[in-house]
Amino acid sequence: MMDTPGKTIHHLIIFFWDTMGFKDKLNNLRECKVNSNIYDAYFNQDIDENSIYVESRNGFDFTGNMFRIVEELSTGKYGDFRIYVFAQSHIRPKIEEYKRNYNLNIYRIIDSEDEACRILHNVKYIFADSGIRYKYVKKPGQVFINTWHGTIMKLMGIDNVHEQLSMGIIQRSLLFSDYLALPSDYLQDRLLSSFMLEDIYPGKVLLEGYP
């Protein structure tokens, strides 16, 4: 039984899309465009001195230190900043609710990885409590503050065999940080030792408690 013209076209599309690798080629072109935009933001665009980027738990939450920092910045006591918050798409409604209920001065909630990486290279101040977008490279003139997200009560980094291969994600974020705002000597020791940074962390540790 011969295929109908519609089925034949469908089979041809599947053949070229999967078998001939068109899907991979299109994805590669898209990735090149994204990387080109990030390159342009890093090398050719100036830092916006009145902008702030906030990322809580890799975009999977918006509580604790990051929420409190945004709440304080929203008072206007520190200037008129454009505040960008990165969030995974399912966390976005939660942040929008917080924005309404607590009158948070959030300029934009970002749930696109590509947009987040581009904006990251344009902002002046960066606040995070864990890792940061994997395509981000700190730009000269930026100020990065990491607060971590709680006192460590478990094995992490080099001390946890299941995290040893992926600990570089956190290491790079901590190494990018100009300041680690921590609540205790205990957390400072555990954080730096767990991620093998005791002798190489270039920033300043602020033992000033949590926001």
Gap between the Cα atoms of 146 and 126, Å rounded: 8
* Residue 138 DSSP code: P
59 vs 9, higher pLDDT: 59
Distance from the first to the final alpha carbon of the chain: 72
Task: Judge whether 106 and 83 are in contact, CB under 8 Å.
Answer: yes
Read off the pLDDT band of 2 (50, 70, 90): very low
Across the chain, mean pLDDT equals: 89
With H, G, I as helix, E, B as strand and everything else as coil, classify residue 53.
Answer: strand
**CB atoms closer than 10 angstroms to residue 152:** 17
How distant is the alpha carbon of residue 96 from its chain centre?
18
Read off the pLDDT band of 19 (50, 70, 90): low
Q: What is the pLDDT, as a whole number, of residue 190?
A: 94
* 30 has pLDDT over 50: yes
CA-based radius of gyration for the chain: 21
For residue range 127-168, list pLDDT tens digits in order. Answer: 999 999 989 999 999 999 999 988 888 898 999 999 898 899
Q: What is the pLDDT, as a whole number, of residue 129?
A: 95
